[in-house]
Structure 1
């Protein structure tokens, strides 16, 4: 591009006042504010000027960065790029998605969707004043922990309980109150990393405790703990392995042995249980019995002698993100008066959702909690769901087939019910897969990656799996109404692919 061409392009860029007063800009001013709209337009103009200064034609660059074809006038390209950016900034980035991955407790997708009762409880509390820290009977200040402590004690058998904003915070507070400045002993095989570089040793160090790792990665005996105890030892810690398993020659120390040793030496025995299983899961078939034998509930841990158990509320419990500390009243009381608690406390909406979720467990209606219902759904029910979704997508593909004159081969989709392997997720039962069903989609005109990208970028994103060159929509993790959203996203994906 010559210097005169560049100067001509620069002169053709519209004035800021003209752009800011255009009808399309005024529409965004109501949601973003006029000054923010101006700032975004300025960013767009600066980008185009840089491209011209670098010797690039912005009309050609616009093919990739602006999503438009080459040959557009600069004025039109400015509007397209600015409105694209304004539309992005004016919409919420936190939005609902359809989880068709087959991973029930999907951390990246918000883990546990709340039960209807929990949603109603949040709605009732969110827009009004509440008894969050007020006791009407006393006519004065109350405690926010009171809203859930009795329920937790009834469900777990604990003497006392306390909630904070997540399980990492629960571990941090518990150790800060019981082991700061002293030693805690933990098995080398339990120093796990749990997603996004969250590592147990680092959390332990933040508490002010000195970590003493004993045993080997695959084998830790009670004698390893016993030999490591000194006069400065405060806690014996057992950590749930979460998202990994060691197979082969493995030796772990039973919690009953650790509890006995802790009682003998006057130490605290603490267990980080992670997922927060309150009772037996009704997983159909032999797998259900196997899981019941291997996974310990909070009540089982306390009955086996754990002085403190920490766990999450948004995994197997099926509630909002929250961390629970349950166990000895003497130890819990120390944590309630700890200065760190204020930095970790839970807001009113989380408490409302958690209380409602706990009441479903207490009344035996935990099957209405979405994640528990998904985990317990049997294969015949999943097969019927998959068949229904398959029929809907076949009708959708037929009704929205692209004329072959526009795109030869478009509409030649293979849509079929397939068997799947689903996962509980959230670090729970990482090597145990649930047999399920889904719908597989493939086409000679669209790669699986292209179709999956189209589904993910729909107005309501649909997050599928890809396997063996096909898009797989697992039905276990679908919520009521998701089938229609998938069909709409399918149409949207086809329209964008053909238009492109």
Structure 2
């Protein structure tokens, strides 16, 4: 039982209650009891095993718990202490096991409820798993940026400097065709900032075939309409010609927008105006040409010949291109704008730029992504199929199952329909749930009545933990 306090002094009554009990005139009328709080823990019989559960204050005072409080926070540690005690109260463990169970919880405890997951789906840019995994260089950069850093300070002069100078320089080095670069907090923000700064209150001409819906139900028309610009739709779903854009241009035109429909393909009787054609039209009418790439490639990738890149788009005449940093670029969540200096400067000085700017951690991670070694995204995309087969064979030899051909995917709306040839280990379908709930958590692909474990996106250094996780799931 738990008690919240006890009463002191004689019982008291309201006037009517005293008269009803025949005590009128004998007791002064008072409206409230005196109340003194006491401990919430009521002593139990020494024969009750729950009485052997270590006290909360004793557990909190132990050196291991004090150290964990500094790492995880006092509230988190207190919850772990109470959870261990509750397991003993419910008979799940013996009271004497509470300290050991607590120690295990503290060791596995994390400062965030986000759990690391081994991606065994074969989908490289997996939105539900946070898109691109950071490189070791980017992780080091994040740690370096966690404290005080010179994100807006010139240490030589002690005066304020331009924000994100190093990340900007790295972007310009990776895309020499750009005169200027700007980093914001995500790809949608880069596009919203471009349309707001360049065409707020005016018309933006866009093909009907490019009015796409991006993740989580967000639609491009709604996104742009929120900026105060007005969409002027031209052409049809499958065919839009240069003359359609030309017919729509007028004194109220603020910009021409071309969007790469990255998460779907339209095949067959199709037509679209090229960037160089739109550049000539935009130049003639003195309106900017915005090209939204989405995927974040800075240069062409032979593996993905139909995926647009910033260098090619700028070379063809785009005034500014916008893209994401956490897709094919393989970096942190960020929005990137590259293009003519006059255009990018208009975006950078617009009041909205302050609301969507990138933080110091994203800037540091982006710089390291651009200047460091190959990213995990690039490694997974260009994985050798023969090496993937050898890794799948080794996993199957250790856990059982059948090695089957399995095409990976780019994911994240990039290169839809482009297969990435590889291999997977086929296991019983019910293995998938045990893998997801294991430690470490593993996300396989469930397809055709089977649980498919694909090593493409798994760093080779994690092959051991992956094997152990599969073995534990099969034994579950």
Alignment TM-score, normalising by the size of structure 1? 0.75
What is residue 422 of structure 1 aligned with on the other side? 408
Corresponding residue SS for 2:379: helix
What aligned pairs does 1:15-26 form with structure 2 within 5 A after superposition? 17=41, 22-23=53-54
Q: How far apart, in 1, do the equivalents of 2:384 and 2:238 lie?
A: 35
What is residue 436 of structure 1 aligned with on the other side? 422
What is residue 308 of structure 1 aligned with on the other side? 320
Could you say which structure has the higher helix fraction?
1
Match of 1:93 among 102, 105, 113: 113
1:379 equivalenced with 2:398 (yes/no):
no
Instruction: Check 1:24–1:241 CA distance in 2 against 1; reply closer, same or farther (3 A cut).
Output: farther
Unmatched tracts of structure 1, length 5 or more: 1-14, 46-65, 67-72, 283-287, 395-414, 443-447
Instruction: Check 1:38–1:486 CA distance in 2 against 1; reply closer, same or farther (3 A cut).
Output: closer
C-alpha displacement of 1:145: 2.7
Instruction: Check 1:331–1:32 CA distance in 2 against 1; reply closer, same or farther (3 A cut).
Output: closer
Match of 1:334 among 336, 346, 349: 346
C-alpha displacement of 1:35: 11
What aligned pairs does 1:316-465 form with structure 2 within 5 A after superposition? 316-360=328-372, 365=373, 368-394=374-400, 415-442=401-428, 448-449=429-430, 451-465=431-445
C-alpha displacement of 1:272: 0.5
Structure number with greater Rg is 2
What is residue 409 of structure 1 aligned with on the other side? none
Q: How far apart, in 2, do the equivalents of 1:348 and 1:384 lie?
A: 41
Q: How far apart, in 2, do the equivalents of 1:461 and 1:24 lie?
A: 33
What is residue 268 of structure 1 aligned with on the other side? 288
Q: How far apart, in 2, do the equivalents of 1:103 and 1:20 lie?
A: 52
Q: How far apart, in 2, do the equivalents of 1:266 and 1:347 lie?
A: 34
Q: How far apart, in 2, do the equivalents of 1:263 and 1:379 lie?
A: 46
What is residue 15 of structure 2 aligned with on the other side? none
CA RMSD of aligned residues (A): 3.2
Q: How far apart, in 2, do the equivalents of 1:318 and 1:120 lie?
A: 15
C-alpha displacement of 1:38: 8.3
After TM superposition, which residue ranges in structure 1, 4 or more long, deviate above 4 angstroms?
Answer: 18-22, 24-42, 73-80, 87-91
1:155 equivalenced with 2:166 (yes/no):
no
C-alpha displacement of 1:124: 2.5
Unmatched tracts of structure 2, length 5 or more: 1-38, 43-49, 96-100
Corresponding residue SS for 2:405: strand
Instruction: Check 1:379–1:179 CA distance in 2 against 1; reply closer, same or farther (3 A cut).
Output: same
Q: Deviations over 1:325-379 (max 9, x none)?
A: 110111111122111111111111211111111113xxxx5xx211111111122
1:277 equivalenced with 2:308 (yes/no):
no
Bigger mean CA deviation after superposition, 341-350 or 87-96: 87-96
Q: How far apart, in 2, do the equivalents of 1:416 and 1:494 lie?
A: 14
